[in-house]
Amino acid sequence: GQNIDQPTEMTATEGAIVQINCTYQTSGFNGLFWYQQHAGEAPTFLSYNVLDGLEEKGRFSSFLSRSKGYSYLLLKELQMKDSASYLCAVGLNTDKLIFGTGTRLQVFP
């Protein structure tokens, strides 16, 4: 079966750095996505990793290790608006996208 694990909740302080981890066991892996979802809104795309290593995009970076079935999303210089849920999702070679349960991040002043 397919399994994706990430922490349920995290808290951090404005201006700090936070790392959200995701581990997965899937068959037919074809890439890992991170999405951001504010309460009551649609998920929006943040990043995509298909090869091992770090992808940086402004304040957000995402890392992938395929051999370990592990990814993380790194958020730097946290802002209050970064308070949201962060969804880890695995793309399968069947073109399906399977989501983890999401990590709710609360940023405090």
Partner 1 sequence: DADVTQTPRNRITKTGKRIMLECSQTKGHDRMYWYRQDPGLGLRLIYYSFDVKDINKGEISDGYSVSRQAQAKFSLSLESAIPNQTALYFCATSTGDNTEAFFGQGTRLTVV
Rounded CA separation 26/71 (Å): 13
Residue 50 or 54 having the CB closest to partner 1:
50
Rounded CA separation 12/20 (Å): 11
Rounded CA separation 59/40 (Å): 24
**Binding residue for partner 1, selected from 30, 55, 60, 76, defined by CB under 8 A:** 30
> What amino acid occupies position 41?
E
Residue 79 or 101 having the CB closest to partner 1:
101
Work out whether 69 is an interface residue with partner 1 (CB under 8 A): no
**Binding residue for partner 1, selected from 43, 63, 69, 73, defined by CB under 8 A:** 43
Work out whether 108 is an interface residue with partner 1 (CB under 8 A): no
